[in-house]
A = this chain, B = another copy of it.
Amino acid sequence: MPSISQRGNNAPDSPYRKLAPFAEKAKAAGKHIYHLNIGQPDIPSPATAIEAVQLSQHPIIEYGPAQGGSELRNTYAAYYDRFGVQVAADDVFATNGASEGIMFAIGACCDADDEIIIPEPFYASYNSFANFCEAKVVPIPSFLEDGFPLPPIEAFRERITPKTKAIILCNPGNPTGKVYPKEDLAAIIKLAIEKDLFLIVDEVYKEFCYDRPFHSVLRFEEAKDHVIVIDSVSKIFSLCGARIGFMVTKNVELQQAILRFCKMRLCPSYHGQVLALASFQNLDDYLEEVKAEYLNRRDTLYAALSEVDGLTLYKPEGAFYIITGLPVEDAEHFCQWMLDEFDYQNQTVMFAPAGGFYADPKLGKNQVRIAFVLNSEDIKKAVRCLEEGLKAYATISAEVLPLKQ
């Protein structure tokens, strides 16, 4: 029997989907589940995008350009005007979701055993892509109590070794909802330049900033050879299944390597590109309403959670997530119990245990990530379930839970 690779053995499982079997069992038992566990919005994709696909007549679904269609790349590059950045179509690479963009970015920066510094908690797939490239994630903790600010520059500096090739930030943050102020970004840019590091910034939630304007790292022209931006249509346009993302870089050497990576896998999805192009061509009509809706959901969720006893809370500034500390020892057990043993009026709620977003297994054990991807009424009902669930869990947990021993 042949043995699989270390990279195969070490590939982390998804923390988002671990509880799926319990959710299926709960559904089979007739419970309604509020899914606040994954970043799958309930907001319709742009009608113009759906129509563009329905109207597409081309009789052969052919290969397109490896880098993405030129109309799509031109349209996407022009979209950066609103962020105060000059982007050329040549700087843009359409990818199979932000996922492939992250993989290509890490692959172009790191060889086996190289290191990437990432503030934690972070989007868990960064770990998976680093593992696929046999690179090592070096985490820096940030803390819920403070609202997950960027860790001090000194903490980055301490972790830089000759093996360090890149820093990854997510701005606005998944799972934290943190929006980094311009000054913090300026400080990290300075460090990246000083230490000759790439700065990979995942900006897929950039349209969703509630209290502070978004500042793209592409605006720091002095760092044009250091910055790699990752983007996607998944969240902006509720097009998670389109699998179209973007990588933007102005580093010419990097562009050449990324183009060779792109050619290796031939091209992005034809219909994904149709969806993406139509969406960007009708951006304003669609996005104004969607942004107002998310702001309303953020406020509804934060207000509802503020009424629940025993939570550790902060107000997320962007994206559509909040990490909340629960008055339990093991949030993963609580989440499982909510699906498996609990219901309130035949309803329950599903969260993502936040431990999976930390590289350090000691961190985040009593935290959950809550995605505000449902409408405000459902969010209120879900928080009611949480409140009732916490009460019931408190009465039983002292007696029966093995985790309390």
Contact = CB atoms under 8 A, between A and B. Distances in A.
A108 B7 contact: yes
Most buried by B among A38, A100, A112: A112
Interface in A93-130: 96-97, 99-100, 103, 107-112, 114, 125, 128-129
A133 B134 CA distance: 8
A265 B5 contact: no
Given A96-B96, A100-B265, A243-B268, A111 B7 contact: yes
Nearest to A271: B271
A64 interface: yes
Specify how many copies of this chain sit in the oligomer: 2
Interface string A54-68: 111111111110100
Contacts of A49: 61
Nearest to A109: B5
Contacts of A2: 109, 165-166, 192, 196-198, 225-226
A239 interface: yes
Interface string A189-218: 000100011100000000000000000000
Contact of A132 (B50, B253, B261, B272): B261
Contacts of A197: 2
Contact of A242 (B8, B43, B61): B61
Given A4-B257, A50-B61, 19 more contacts: A1-B196, A4-B108, A4-B253, A7-B107, A14-B264, A45-B59, A45-B60, A60-B238, A61-B241, A96-B269, A111-B112, A112-B134, A125-B265, A128-B260, A240-B267, A243-B267, A243-B272, A271-B271, A271-B272
